[in-house]
Amino acid sequence: MKHLVDKHILINENRIAHGVIGEGEPVVLVHGTPSSSYIWRTIAPALAERGFKVHVFDLLGFGLSERPQDPAIDTSVTGQVPVFEGLLEAWGLRDLHIISHDIGGGIATQFSIQSPERVRSLTLIDVVSFDSWPSKRTREQMQAGLDKLIKASDSEHREHFRTWLFSAVQNKDRLAETAMETYLDFISGPIGQGSLFQHQIMNYDPRHTNDFASRYAELGKLPVQLIWGADDAWQVVDWAYRLQDAIPGSELHVLEDCGHFAMEDKPTEITEKLLTFLEANSK
């Protein structure tokens, strides 16, 4: 298990794990839930090899970044935007390409709407938008009460979320053989289990995207690419078409036999789409 994030920095007094590879035009990768920067492990090196300087990080409360105990620290989609801005300052980036996944798309769209002059291009991969989240299954569990899941034993917790993560991919054998245990390790155990509910599930609130939905058309001033798994069970493909309609000029690529964790199912195809788009919009 090799992580892309090998450095740590304090952003707004919270420790953030991050890493930079390659040289060239800057690209920042923003992961979602319940994952980490580990989801970019095949994508980032491929972009770096083609002449891009790739920046990755773990969101606050995720992966190898700090898991704050203080409930007053905002780790929601909206709360992550200042963390993102602080990292850009630390990295010395005034403008950049952004590639985002899942709730990372909520962070990326907020930033891009508020600071369009800083965005060279925006890629949204199976992202949350409008009131598309939490997924139907997660919403049902939240409405039924999360106490049982919060108090579950470590083994019960791991098995429950193993099944949950398998629903994010089409190629379950590949996930089992590669990243499954890493993802589970981050959201299980004495720190991970509580952190998952405090910093991730408790923040599954569509207002963080719906509040900006009326401004999606402003993203039409930027080069925007949407990539979506045709078999995404978490963010069904209907949301991709709705988001494309809301962003004038955006292009959409729907990948067959591909689920929500698209980078796990189709890493080669996604890398090709990303490189074509980035190179077409490079300075």
Per residue in 221-258, pLDDT (tens digit) is: 999 999 999 999 999 999 999 999 999 999 999 999 99
Residue 82 located in a structural domain: yes
Residue 78 is part of a domain; what is its CATH number?
3.40.50.1820
Q: What does the pLDDT average to over 176-181?
A: 97
pLDDT at 112: 98
pLDDT tens string 104-159: 999 999 999 999 999 999 999 999 999 999 988 788 777 767 788 888 999 999 99
Average pLDDT, the chain: 96
| Sign of the torsion angle spanned by Cα atoms 264, 140, 254, 47 | negative
Residue 262 located in a structural domain: yes
Quick one: pLDDT band at residue 166, thresholds 50, 70, 90?
very high
User: What is the span of the domain harbouring residue 243?
Assistant: 7-280
Residue 62 located in a structural domain: yes
Q: What does the pLDDT average to over 27-34?
A: 98
Q: What does the pLDDT average to over 63-70?
A: 96
The residue type found at 229 is G
Instruction: Please name the residues in contact with 187: beta carbons below 8 A apart, sequence gap of 6 or more.
Output: 34, 161, 193, 195, 196, 200
Residue 2 located in a structural domain: no
User: What are all long-range contacts of 86-89, with beta carbons under 8 Å and residues at least 24 apart?
Assistant: 86/11, 86/12, 86/16, 87/9, 87/11, 87/16, 87/18, 87/28, 87/55, 87/57, 88/28, 88/118
pLDDT at 1: 58
pLDDT at 22: 97
pLDDT at 144: 66
Contact predicate 28/98, CB 8 Å = yes
Looking at the structure of the chain, the number of domains it has is: 1
pLDDT at 168: 97
pLDDT at 138: 83
pLDDT at 169: 98
Residue 242 located in a structural domain: yes
Residue 233 located in a structural domain: yes
Q: What does the pLDDT average to over 199-216?
A: 96
Residue 206 located in a structural domain: yes
Residue 1 located in a structural domain: no
Q: Per the confidence metrics, is the pTM higher than 0.95?
A: yes
